[in-house]
Amino acid sequence: MTKPNILIVNDDGILAPGIAALIEAVKTIGTPYVMAPDKPQSGQGHAITIHDPIKVKEVFHFTGLKAYKCSGTPVDCVKIARHVMYKDIDFDLCVSGINHGSNAAINIIYSGTMSAAMEASLEGIPAIGFSLCDISMEADFTAATHYAAKMIRWALDHEFKKSLLLNVNIPKLPIEEIKGIKVCRQGKSGWKEDFMEVKNPRGESYYWMTGEFVLYEEAEDTDINALGNGYISVVPSMHDLTAHPALEEFRYLEDSQ
């Protein structure tokens, strides 16, 4: 039986421990093909590089597989992997991560990890983004790797729409304390922004963005609630941003001219 071909991308960069963990998970199941940013690209959202060229270099620190680093964004990684470096490979799945830090709730919007997964699903490759709710570079990926392998096997074993896009978040817990998997919706939340002002030697100000995650609801069916209760959250996601319930509400605009 042919082994499945699995594209591996991330947003924390080619040297992040999270991508090494994901490669280990994939190796037990299929053939990994890696393309990751050459530097951390957290918070890049769905950015693409159109005003600059993109540089790609093969890397050799992973053994027994093909891997490249790319000067572009996580979404660029998917595009150039699919259309240049791995253009002859027919991918069965794309996995992104394992991200260092949560991409639950509104974080999906800012996340390079999830945007890379979304880009793959837009191109017809089923995709799963994995995130561990621990931003540390020394995070313990044991549970995350175990469950990533499980979800990858599941995804490959099932018939589903080519547009499959799952946002999987794993709580920061020892594997024996994880209660299971919950399928949920994206929790309503935002960031309470703040900026740290610094003066340069000429007395001119510049600003570092900081912020605090704020949850706008207490509800049982959200990803945030699942994670808070020790479950892995799985949010089936999509790229249609239409507010469908609002279509009729705005219809009268058509007669306003």
Helix (H) or strand (E) holding 22: helix 17-27
The footprint of a copy of itself on residues 64-103 (CB under 8 A) is 73, 75-76, 79-80, 82-84
Closest approach of a copy of itself to the CB of residue 94, in Å: 15
Among left, alpha and beta (phi > 0; psi -120 to 50; other), residue 244 is alpha
Return the closest-CA partner of residue 110 out of 50, 11, 42: 42
* By the rule CB under 8 A, 190 interacts with a copy of itself: yes
Instruction: Give 63: exposed, middle or buried? Use CB within 10 Å, 0-12, 13-18, 19+.
Output: exposed
* By the rule CB under 8 A, 234 interacts with a copy of itself: yes
Q: How many CB atoms lie within 10 A of CB 203?
A: 6
Site string for a copy of itself, 100-129 (x = CB under 8 A): ------x-xxx----x--x---xx------
Closest approach of a copy of itself to the CB of residue 234, in Å: 6
Residue 47 or 156 with smaller CB distance to a copy of itself: 47
* By the rule CB under 8 A, 154 interacts with a copy of itself: yes
Closest approach of a copy of itself to the CB of residue 206, in Å: 4
Q: Pick the stretch among 23-31, 91-99, 136-144, 184-192 that binds a copy of itself (CB under 8 A).
A: 184-192
* By the rule CB under 8 A, 176 interacts with a copy of itself: no
Return the closest-CA partner of residue 168 out of 111, 218, 219: 111
Among 15, 47, 89, 156, binds a copy of itself (CB under 8 A): 47
Phi, psi of 163 (to 5 degrees): -85, 10
* By the rule CB under 8 A, 40 interacts with a copy of itself: yes
Q: Which residues contact 171 (CB under 8 A, 6 or more apart)?
A: 133, 178, 227, 230, 231, 232
